[in-house]
Amino acid sequence: MKLLVVGSGGREHALVWKLTAGRNGDKIYCAPGNAGISALAECVDIDAEDIDSLATFARERRIDLTVVGPERALIHGIVDEFERRGLPIFGPSAAAARLEGSKAFADGLMEKYGVASAKFAVFDRADEARRYVESVGAPIVVKADGDAAGKGVVVAQQVEQALEAIEQTMVERIHGDAGSRVVIEECLVGPECSIKVFTDGAHVVPMVPSQDHKRALDGDRGPNTGGMGCYASVPAVDADLFDQIITGLIEPTIDAMAQEGTPYKGVLYGGLILTDDGPKMLEYNCRFGDPESQVVLPLLESDLADILLATAEGGLEEYDVQWSDRKCVCVVMASGGYPGSYENGLPISGADEVAAQEDVVVFHAGTAHRNGKLVTNGGRVLGVTALGDTFDEAIRRAYAAVDCIHFDGAHFRRDIGSRALA
Q: What percent of the chain has pLDDT over 70?
A: 100
What pLDDT digit, counting tens, does each position of 130-173 carry?
999 999 999 999 999 998 877 788 999 999 999 999 999 999 99
Q: Say if residue 222's pLDDT is above 80.
A: yes
Question: Do 256 and 233 lie in a common domain?
Answer: yes
Q: Is the dihedral of CA 285, 287, 290, 291 positive or negative?
A: positive
DSSP E strand boundaries for 111-177: 120-123, 140-144, 153-156
CATH number of the domain that 263 lies in? 3.30.470.20
Question: Do 313 and 202 lie in a common domain?
Answer: yes
Q: Taking the CB of residue 138, how many other CB atoms lie within 10 A of it?
A: 17
CA distance 155 to 144: 12
Question: Do 305 and 266 lie in a common domain?
Answer: yes
Q: Is 55 contained in some domain?
A: yes
Query: How many structural domains is the chain composed of?
Result: 4
CATH number of the domain that 172 lies in? 3.30.1490.20
What does the mean pLDDT of the chain come to? 95
Q: Say if residue 256's pLDDT is above 70.
A: yes
Question: Do 273 and 346 lie in a common domain?
Answer: no
Q: Is 41 contained in some domain?
A: yes
CA distance 367 to 225: 18
Rg from Cα positions in the chain: 20
Residue 4 binned pLDDT confidence (cut-offs 50, 70, 90): very high
Q: Say if residue 193's pLDDT is above 80.
A: yes
Q: b/e per residue, 110-130, with b = 16+ CB within 10 A?
A: beeeebbbbebbbbeebeebb
CA distance 183 to 178: 11
Question: Do 304 and 208 lie in a common domain?
Answer: yes
Q: Is 104 contained in some domain?
A: no
pLDDT of residue 24: 66
Question: Do 89 and 7 lie in a common domain?
Answer: yes
Question: Do 196 and 182 lie in a common domain?
Answer: no
Could you tell me the pTM of the whole model? 0.95
CA angle 186, 192, 193 (to 5 degrees): 130
CA distance 201 to 263: 5
CA distance 234 to 212: 10
CATH number of the domain that 368 lies in? 3.90.600.10
Find the domain containing 361 and state its range.
327-421
Q: Say if residue 396's pLDDT is above 80.
A: yes
Residue 195 binned pLDDT confidence (cut-offs 50, 70, 90): very high
